[in-house]
Amino acid sequence: MQKLRFGVVGACGRGGNYQPAFEIIKRKAVVEAVCDLNKEALPEAAARMGASEQYTNYEQMLERADIDAVLIGTPQHLHSEQARMALERGLHVLSEVPAGVDIEECRALVLAASRSSGVYGMAENYLYLPENMVVWNYAQKGLFGKIYYAEAEYLHELKELVEKTPWRRRWQVGIPGNTYPTHSLGPLLLWMGNDRVTEVCCVANGQHYLDPRGEPYENVNSVTLCKTRSGGLIKLRLDLVSERPHALTNYLIQGTEGAYESSRSPNEREKLWIKAQSHGRMEWRPFRDTEYYPDWWKRGSRKAHNVGHEGSDYFSLSRFVAAVLSGKKPDVDIHFAMDMTLPGLVSQQSAAQGGRWLPVPDSRDWERNEPSHPQLQMIYPPEKFHSLSEPTLPKEYHLRQIAESDLDDYLVLREKAGFGGWDREQAQRAISHALPGGFFAVEYLPERKIVASAMANHSPHSRHPNAGVLDWVIADPDHAGRGLGRAVTAAVTRLLIQRGYQRIYLLTDDWRLPALAVYLQLGWEPFIVEPGMQARWDAVREQLKR
């Protein structure tokens, strides 16, 4: 393949901003098709980008257009599903940030990328900013020593833009936590030797401003602490509402042999201290005096000075195209994209739980442990919120919260119910992951041991915004028929309703027929999310009848 033919979705918005970059690399990539819901503006976008095909339906573009790749420049809650749809058709994908807005849809995206002949890349352009490239070059050469601490802030008042692009009202300023982490986290992870965040805790103090309808913004200011695989510590601050001058590229790193601090205003200079270049003096030196740019970046920057984000949009596109054409891995592959995205999603769970430390999944594990097909989904309808009865149990059983002292019993229970493979550390993480007061257990009083459990978690999803989830319903098969699974399921569902969740869902498997029967009896309803799932539910219902 000598030239990639792209379809650009979101061509009348962010996707159209790549036109200057396409013009520079037109010998290697062209825009064949454009897609946008704004059909009035679409002809102008097609003419500007040189596209011969126009679509207002994304799936039609994927099926009909003569393209090899898609560039996704749509609102962030659409990124994951649109990327997955393209990958399932063997197309290459360059997606805007972040990769997704929900952990489960990110898992589905990773699995789609692992199966696809197409290549996934994420267009995180802050990696390629001039100052960030210099810091990366210093870090690559080991001049900072081991970087063990870093900070980043993204402070960008967006209230006017939120009104012009209403999706931001929910997905950027409507969920407490870090809803836009990649610009901050990406460069830091790169400088820290492609490190990965393993745990986060987040505290958000929002509701200081009202939108034009008098409703408070939920996500005004959040601070997230991150522990990394190598033992590093990172602090991230996100603020998209506060009235103040913008400060979009604030970074700080501390290594054993050097340090760097970016400027915080146009009147300041970046500061650098490198022990090997300090001549024994503990003094900052001006940062911009150096020409310590990577050679490939210097060559590209001469072409890209008129392209967006100080030429970074050019590098996002051109290096992705070069990687696909040469058969190499892109700078931001599916797993680096997840390393930048998942900490933000877990930070939202942590903020909902008062700042608990929570583990961040490693997308590489998803690939290694790929399931045969996606789990079934169910929702608890809001019209049934007021009719859910109190959970009841036989007199020799007691419903309570699980405790640290129950860990050994809990692991035995998991093993007996077919959920083995966990150790004490994983069980402790599960306890810390649940919403406060949301990890229920049934104790069998004659033996003083737990024989059933379920937990409530905060887990927003593109199809289930601001949602709570019923997780890990487990019951001892030796105590079957006593309503234990029903009791813990009802207890978690009631708690989520009491916490104000308007959307409550669960994930389950086709073969868990006793659990599926309980869910359906309690009023849970199947939620069909992809082709073939209705047939699976029909098969489940047929088996339950028998």
Alpha helices in 327-403 (DSSP H): 334-352, 363-368
Paired tokens of 544: 């339950």
- The H or E element spanning position 358 is strand 358-359
CA dihedral over 145, 147, 149, 151, signed as positive or negative: positive
Q: Indicate if the pLDDT at residue 229 is higher than 80.
A: yes
Q: How far from 456 is each of 435, 482, 504, CA to CA, in Å?
A: 6, 22, 10
Residue 78 CA to residue 99 CA, distance in Å, equals 9
DSSP per residue, 276-317: GGSTT----EESTT-----HHHHHHHHH-TTSTTTTHHHHHH
Which contiguous run of DSSP H or E holds residue 36? none
Dist CA 6 CA 533 (whole Å): 31
Q: Structure tokens of 80?
A: 């994951």
What's 196's DSSP letter? -
Question: What token pair was written down for 357?
Answer: 């430390």
CB atoms within 10 A of CB 197: 28
Q: How far apart are CA 185 and CA 226, in angstroms?
A: 10
Complete DSSP assignment for 474-511:
EE-GGGTTSSHHHHHHHHHHHHHHHTT-S-EEEEE-TT
Structure tokens at 113: 């990328």
Structure tokens at 109: 């995206």
Is 512 buried (19+), middle (13-18) or exposed (0-12) by CB count in 10 A? Answer: middle
Do the beta carbons of residue 515 and residue 484 sit within 8 Å? no
- The Cα-based distances of 103 to 46, 108, 204, 346, 355 in angstroms read 34, 9, 20, 8, 18
Cβ contact 462:77 at 8 Å: yes
Mean pLDDT of 256-260: 97
| Mean pLDDT across 260-282 | 90
- How far apart, in whole angstroms, are the C-alpha atoms of residue 185 and residue 99? 13
The reported pLDDT for the residue numbered 385 is 93
> In this structure, are residues 253 and 259 in contact, taking their beta carbons and an 8 Å threshold?
yes
Partners of 442 in the beta sheet?
Answer: 399, 452
Q: Calculate the average pLDDT of the chain.
A: 92
Per DSSP, what are the bridge partners of residue 443? 398, 450
Residue 376 has pLDDT above 60, yes or no: yes
Collapsing DSSP to helix, strand or coil, 525 comes out as: strand
Identify the band that residue 332 occupies on the pLDDT scale cut at 50, 70 and 90.
very high
Preceding amide of 181 cis, omega within 30: no
For residues 245-272, give the mean pLDDT.
Answer: 92
pTM of the predicted model as reported, rounded to 2 decimal places: 0.79
Token pair recorded at residue 148: 């063990």
From residue 394, alpha-carbon distances to 298, 327, 444, 484 in Å are 74, 63, 10, 9
Residue 8's pLDDT band (boundaries 50, 70, 90)?
A: very high
Q: Which residue has the tokens 């006793």?
A: 514
| Displacement of CA 374 from its chain's centroid (Å) | 18
User: In the structure encoding, which two tokens stand for residue 521, read together?
Assistant: 């009896």
Tokens found for residue 355: 């700042």
Q: Does the pLDDT value for residue 432 go beyond 80? A: no
Report d(CA 4, CA 30) in Å as an integer.
6
| Cα end-to-end distance, the chain, whole Å | 55
Residue 372 confidence class, pLDDT cut points 50, 70, 90:
low
Collect all residues with Cβ–Cβ distance below 8 Å to 161 and sequence separation of at least 6.
Answer: 168
Tell me the pLDDT band of 2, cut-offs 50, 70 and 90.
Answer: confident
Mean pLDDT of 154-164: 96
For residue 19, what are its two tokens? Answer: 């036109």
Of the candidates 103, 204, 190, the one whose C-alpha atom is nearest the C-alpha of residue 138 is 190
User: What's the confidence (pLDDT) of residue 544?
Assistant: 86
Model confidence at 339: pLDDT above 60: yes
Contact 154, 238 (CB under 8 A): yes
Q: How confident is the model at residue 509 (pLDDT cuts 50, 70, 90)?
A: confident
Judging by beta carbons within 10 Å of its beta carbon (0-12, 13-18, 19+), is residue 271 exposed, middle or buried? middle
Nearest alpha carbon to residue 354 among 431, 430, 435, 427? 435
Catalogue all structural domains in the chain, each as residue range(s) with its CATH number: 4-126 (3.40.50.720), 129-293+336-365 (3.30.360.10), 376-545 (3.40.630.30)
- Report whether 157 contacts 242 (CB < 8 A): yes
Percent of the chain topping pLDDT 70:
99
CB 200 within 8 A of CB 346: yes
Residue range 25-33: average pLDDT? 97
Rg value, the chain, Cα:
25
- Residue range 93-121, pLDDT digits in tens: 999 999 999 998 999 999 999 988 899 99
Phi first, then psi: give them for residue 284, nearest 5 degrees: -65, 150
